Structure 1
Amino acid sequence: MAGAEPTFYTAMRTKDVLEAYARWAPVYDLVFGPILKSSRKAAVAALPPDAGRVLEVGVGTGVSLPDYPRHMRVVGIDLSASMLARARARAKREGLTHVEGLIEMDASRLAFPDDSFDVAMAMYVMTVVPDPAGTMAEMRRVVRPGGRVLAVSHFASDAPARRALSSALSPLARLMGWNTTISASRLAAVPGFRLVSDRAVGIFGFHRLLEFEVVK
């Protein structure tokens, strides 16, 4: 229908994600570690200083784990067993005692009780998960009222021309495990959140860091 609102996203399949990250796991740190370092550190620096328990959704190889303040207790989850194996090896090798657990889990079906965390962190995840809206809803559920959800990624533009280009590139991006159709405005529209800040981070401001307050 002419003028209709665009769909929330072009769906990624769990199979696509698992296959992509099984391929990336051996070289992920080498390829993406340096490129994403500045935006990763900006995301950790944005954590509330009094946060006690933090959930990192899509922890991957655990490259971010050494960046967290040691007074915080960090639980990381990921759907990829290949990536988690490297995260666990890193935590053991580097003596990261603030890491409470690294668990294979679907981000849209979190196996934690309500209000279990002060903060949920999603680094380069919301453009990868098969169900972004479901993942946002689950993070809202497990973070206490007044807590924070932080998301950093390269989000699709809301400008029509750039949005059309993102959609056209979606099949190629899917092979890389990246959904080009997720926009920051769509995440902000998920019920139960108040957008606190939205700022450019990383090299040339390529990524955006979104901070939400959980409202229940």
Structure 2
Amino acid sequence: MKGQEWYQEDDIAEEYEEKRFSRGGRLIDRREKQAVLDAIGPVEDRDVLEIACGTGRFTVMLAERGANVVGLDISGPMLQQGREKAQRAGVSENMDLMRGDAGRLPFPDDSFDSVIAMRFFHLADQPASFLSEMRRVSRNQVFFDTFNRFTTRSLYNWALPMGSRLYSRWEVSRLLDSAGLHLVDDDHDFAFPYGLYREIPNELASVFRDLDTTLISSPLGKRLASVSYWHTRVP
């Protein structure tokens, strides 16, 4: 797994959200959360598992909406940040954060209504095995995102300390077939790489976001999109 040791550093966990979701990164945070909610629909009283939950951005959001959420991550410091966030939000009783390996999920088959993984598959060295595990423990739905090959993300990758795994649509289709998942819907976004938004003030980021949305809405939109969201079902 790319960056496994890096993500477990105490200082990385403490600074993670401040570096990624302040300034223009707030637009990314809002878009990702909306993508999750659009895909899995009403979550009240549903059992949801988040793989690689990190500091609990999505687990807390889902718990606030009444879901029974389990978040799993390999980083103890990240999970501690998530527990503190859950306490501040008053949703600790609705969620459980645990340390574990996404390649060997410690749950029986069909344990959850929905299983999600955000910002995970770009780090996966064996994506097929991870997706297969997600499908195994889901009785209904699997949702995840990928960073796309042949887009601005390819250029941005050069600037990253550990790079990212990038996917073509064909590769994702092959992964879904091997996991026995049915594609319900896919959505594509962000012609400009995430790193650009993080480096500029929120007000300026809004201007770029308007242009970005226009580009994505064009006939070439899917080809330009650096991020894809994949909504799948268990047959």
1:1-216 aligned at under 5 Å gives the runs 12-13=1-2, 16-22=3-9, 24-33=12-21, 34=26, 35-49=28-42, 52-68=46-62, 70-97=65-92, 99-144=94-139, 147-153=140-146, 155-157=147-149, 162=150, 166=154, 173=160, 175-176=161-162, 178-190=163-175, 191=178, 192-201=180-189, 203=209, 204=212, 206-215=226-235
8 Å Cα contact 2:113-2:138 kept in structure 1 = yes
Unmatched 5+ stretches in structure 2: 191-208, 217-225
Aligned residue identity for 1:181: L
8 Å Cα contact 2:110-2:138 kept in structure 1 = yes
Partner of 2:201: none
Shift of 1:188: 2.8
Distance 2:30 2:12 in 1: 17
Shift of 1:130: 3.1
Distance 2:99 2:51 in 1: 10
Distance 1:210 1:103 in 2: 25
Assess, with a 3 A threshold, how the Cα gap between structure 1 residues 25 and 31 changes in structure 2: closer, same or farther.
Answer: same
Distance 2:101 2:168 in 1: 21
Partner of 1:4: none
Give TM-score, length-normalised by structure 2.
Answer: 0.71
Residues paired across the two proteins, number: 191
Distance 1:40 1:87 in 2: 16
Q: CA-atom RMSD, angstroms?
A: 2.6
Distance 1:85 1:77 in 2: 12
Secondary structure of the residue aligned to 1:124 is coil
8 Å Cα contact 1:84-1:102 kept in structure 2 = yes
Partner of 1:8: none
Shift of 1:70: 2.8
Which protein is richer in helix relative to its size?
A: 2
Distance 1:186 1:134 in 2: 14
Percent identity between the two aligned chains: 30
Shift of 1:182: 3.3
Give TM-score, length-normalised by structure 1.
Answer: 0.76
Secondary structure of the residue aligned to 2:40 is coil
8 Å Cα contact 2:51-2:102 kept in structure 1 = yes
8 Å Cα contact 2:60-2:91 kept in structure 1 = yes
